[in-house]
Amino acid sequence: MIADGDRLLVGLSGGKDSLTLMWILKERLHRVPLNYELYALYIDLGFEGSFSEPLEVYCHKAGYNFLVDYTDYGIIGHSSDNRENPCFLCSRMRRKRLFEIAERLGCNKVALGHHKDDIIETLFMNICYAGEISTMVPYQNFFQGRFTVIRPLAFVDETTITRFANEQKFPEFINPCPSAANSKRQEIKAILKELYRSNKKIKGNIFRALSHVKTDYLLKK
């Protein structure tokens, strides 16, 4: 996923996943025969109760090249004109901004903290709300190869990341987004949690199914 000379922009949300990713990417620079540059970006969505300042203090103490981009994407996403799906619009604007800042910094790769559970949840979200079978992938080119999105934690369980974050005593930042606790993703997460509780093999089977697709047994248009 990472080559010598890469410039990486890490999308930092302030959550345990992206903080774990940033820690790992910086720590491994001392152990691998690769030289790459790291930048961390937090996109402030404009909500009251923003944690931009304490996150910036933490990142500077950790020695990260950290940037904050102040936007009103969250406010726009939750406006009266977009009540049906605020997360979709906000996410799209945030992703566009990530690429814009990556280009400005000369970064050729954007690293995101999505893990195995995120990938499974995205599969079910796309089936239920987009009517397609698709999910996020660990390595994906965009804009004719100008940028590559990488997800180094793609094969890691969320429970492992949670345990690591607790061991490292990462700070906890409260997400000020009003949809954080009742998003479509949270609904899917709750359904899957019940499913996993019934059979511990189900999560692994779903994840393996993503690379064992029998297209001959899918409906054709």
For 221, the token pair is: 């248009």
- Mean pLDDT of all residues belonging to the chain: 93
**pLDDT in the model for residue 83:** 63
Helices and strands: H and E segment counts in the chain: 8, 6
Helix axes 158-168, 16-27, angle to 10 degrees: 70
pLDDT, tens digit, 9 for 90 and up, residues 9-64:
999 999 999 999 999 999 999 899 999 999 999 999 999 989 999 999 999 999 99
Residue 84: pLDDT over 70: no
**pLDDT in the model for residue 177:** 87
- % of the chain residues with pLDDT over 90: 80
User: C-alpha distances in angstroms, 105 versus 2, 24, 57, 168?
Assistant: 17, 21, 21, 29
SS3 198: helix
**pLDDT in the model for residue 145:** 87
Closest to 61 (Cα-Cα) out of 156, 171, 150: 171
For residues 78 and 137, which has the higher predicted lDDT (pLDDT)? Answer: 137
Extents of the domains making up the chain: 7-217
C-alpha 109/C-alpha 102 separation (Å) is 8
Which distant-in-sequence residues (6+ apart) come within 8 Å of 103 by Cβ?
A: 146, 147
**pLDDT in the model for residue 180:** 78
C-alpha 40/C-alpha 65 separation (Å) is 6
Q: Which sign does the torsion angle of CA 14, 15, 17, 19 carry?
A: positive
**pLDDT in the model for residue 78:** 84
Residue 137: pLDDT over 70: yes
Instruction: Quote the strand ranges of 144-187, DSSP E.
Output: 147-150
pLDDT, tens digit, 9 for 90 and up, residues 164-197:
999 999 999 988 888 877 788 899 999 999 999 9
| Predicted confidence band of residue 107 (pLDDT cuts 50, 70, 90) | very high
Closest to 21 (Cα-Cα) out of 177, 145, 108, 150: 150
Architecture of the domain whose range is 7-217: 3-Layer(aba) Sandwich (3.40)
